[in-house]
A and B are shown apart, each in its own frame.
Chain A
Amino acid sequence: MALRHFGAATAFALTIGMTASPALAVTEIQWWHAMTGANNDVIVKLANDFNAAQSDYKVVPTYKGNYADTMNAGIAAFRAGNAPHIMQVFEVGTATMMAATGAVKPVYKLMADAGEKFDPKIYLPAITGYYSTSKGEMLSFPFNSSSTVMWVNLDELKKANVEIPKTWPETFAAAKKLHDNGHPTCGFSGSWVTWVNLEQLSAWHNVPLASKANGLDGFDTKLEFNGPLQVKHLEKLVELQKDKTYDYAGRTNTGEGRFTSGECPIYLTSSAFFGNVKAQAKFNFTAVPMPYYPDVKGAPQNSIIGGASLWVMGGKPADEYKGVAKFLTFLSDTDRQVYIHKASGYLPITKAAYEKAKAEGFYKDQPYLETPLLELTNKEPTENSRGLRLGNMVQLRDVWSEEIEQALAGKKTAKQALDAAVERGNTMLRQFEKTAVK
């Protein structure tokens, strides 16, 4: 009896002793993110690997819902004085985060303060341009980047005897042919209607979406996407919507199932759709660059990125920042970037990782994984294709979508809809400008 008690007591004492002492020495770093499924596994593995590689810091990843939820959770936590160290924010939240001077710790400053080696030049400029000031100071750390590509159902195209289209007129013609050959409800479609048909379209044709380099040069920017190119494009979509050669598939990516189910043989959406296509599509597929209008001079230009970056929140003690900086260095490692790229389908963010993946022959059997990179680096970015930085972007996109939906439903002409989208958007931008911290 006594012996058994003794044993239990010893075990108890040992457990306490073992768990308590290292826990005190470790500095916890909270990382809030919005990744699910296979991408969540990648995040957990990254955190575990980092925690195993050293003993001073412990990165704790927490899933906080979708991108908007994660951002809202972070903002609410900040207001309550309880922000995480690292927050994954989607690219459209960039302006909101940037405007919040004091709420965030810019990455370039973080690295300098922590004395970590940091060279912004090793990252792909097409990606860092989005997250840097006009002086080239990196504000957030690019994590998962993607771009718009055109997914193609090779089997169906072959059946209808259609070549993979390169330009928009070819795409429309191909969709018509597919529509007549067994795809009565959808020749082609796409997700993220404003991202694909306004934001990427403008950058891809070197046409401004907004003044001041699409907002990168200041918050006093004005929307300009009611120009002839965008109007012409929307008019065409409206026309094709009538007989469902094009069929609108929603504001977000909920319509992507129409591609994987085989209903829509041509589908424009993010390159990050790769994981789902691979898992669900029972046909041969590929992803090719977005189509362009051949009558626009210089087109195609280069595409802009989607996805998210990691923002470091402000107001934390210096030793915790040191851990954050170490973790960002850890993420920048070439092998690790290659791993993230292969496991998630998101782009590698460093030049070295891209070269390494290429040298390993990664794109030989999966050439479509290189497509977004080729689009991003197609030409040297211009004022119109470096990126976007508009305040209240989430809500802006909703307003633009509303107007596009009105046009597609035949309630407004394409021109009226885009004019209204610009006007309503400008009102919101002025509102944002008023609240942005100077």
Chain B
Amino acid sequence: MQKQAIFQSKLLPYALVAPQLAIVLIFFYWPALQAVIQSFLLQDAFGLSTTFVWFDNYIELFRDPAYFEAIVRTFFFSFAIAVSSLSFALLLAVMADKPLRGSMLYRTLLIWPYAVAPPVVGVLWIFMLHPSLGIIARYLRAIGVDWNPLLDGDQAATLIILAAAWKQISYNFLFFLAGLQAIPKSVLEAAAIDGARPMRRFWTVTFPLLSPTIFFLLVVNIVYAFFDTFGIIDTMTRGGPGTSTVTLVYKVYSDGLLGGNLGSSAAQSVILMVMVIVLTGIQFRFVERKVTY
């Protein structure tokens, strides 16, 4: 068996890798480096005056108690979004995995919401639950429920978590269904013959065999909750009431794009980048050990 690479020329492999490398450098490392540089600068919105301010942007952030609140809130939101969308998607996938009549249609319908853009999700939920525009909200108020997520922070947070989780369910469902269908039927049949009831079969056979999928989805969901939810927040609550739905990414967006404070916004994205790197590291270092491939 020849292990030696079949490349005769020393340059050819580099040449072949070069386009890929160029893409990674231009589209990933270059913007990341830009963010780091920007985070040391103080600049007006138009980029006309620039001052180098060392770590001022970072120091100001850590002095701001609202920033810590946003960190805690983001972790809470991510946890709530990941857990609720994962568990609900798993439930749906287990049900859709059964040999049902018309299951293709059922599965297709469940996948649809994934094709919807986050701001559209926000708008859809606004039409249901916004205090003045929402259909459900009108009925709620008519029957005497004090529904006003414009003032009640907990209601607003629930709304964001619901909408964000709802959108992610389809994606999770798709992977769970594929994962479930990849589990050999013979294993489950053997367990059934041994007298294990459906619940026990699920927790002792299916669930462990699904653990790589669950782990993968956990990482994806947390990254989603961290980065992709600002469209939903922007359309639904704009961070309010008070600051009860301001997450880290929304703060990056609102400070940078709405407020024109690019330095602080860049510093925040650098912190966010570090946070996600650390978080993913922890997941792979510790959670992955529990995963059986």
Contact = CB atoms under 8 A, between A and B. Distances in A.
Interface stretch (B147-155, B182-190, B279-287): B147-155
A257 interface: yes
A255 interface: yes
A434 B45 CA distance: 12
Interface string B34-68: 00000000111111110100000000000000000
Nearest to B263: A435
A398 interface: yes
Contacts of B42: 434-435
B258 A249 contact: no
Interface of B: 42-49, 51, 126, 130-133, 141, 148, 150-153, 238-243, 254-255, 257-261
5 contacts: A103-B46, A392-B260, A398-B239, A398-B254, A401-B240
Interface residues of A, number: 45
A394 B258 CA distance: 7
Given A255-B132, A398-B254, A78 B46 contact: yes
Given A185-B141, A394-B259, A398-B258, A100 B45 contact: yes
B238 to A, nearest CB: 6
A251 B260 contact: no
A405 interface: yes
A75 interface: yes
B44 A254 contact: no
Contacts of B242: 402-403, 405-406, 409, 411
A214 to B, nearest CB: 20
Interface in A400-438: 401-403, 405-406, 408-409, 411, 428, 431, 434-438
B132 A408 contact: no
Contacts of B255: 395
Contacts of B238: 251-252, 398
B131 to A, nearest CB: 7
A403 B242 CA distance: 6
A402 B243 contact: yes
B44 A405 contact: no
A320 B151 CA distance: 49
Contacts of A395: 254-255, 258-261
Contacts of B260: 75, 96, 392, 395
A435 B243 contact: no
B261 A431 contact: yes
A394 B253 CA distance: 13
B132 A251 contact: no
A431 B261 CA distance: 9
Contacts of A256: 132
B195 to A, nearest CB: 56
B45 A249 contact: no
A254 B240 contact: no
Contacts of A248: 148, 150-151
A258 B131 CA distance: 9
A102 B141 contact: no
Contacts of B240: 251, 398, 401-402, 405
A101 interface: yes
Interface string A92-117: 00001001111100000000000000
A411 B47 CA distance: 39
B192 to A, nearest CB: 55
Interface string A236-253: 000001000001111110
Contact of B150 (A99, A250, A411): A250
A190 to B, nearest CB: 12
Given A100-B48, A405-B151, A392 B132 contact: no
B151 to A, nearest CB: 5
Nearest to B257: A72
Contacts of A68: 258
Given A405-B241, A406-B242, A101 B131 contact: no
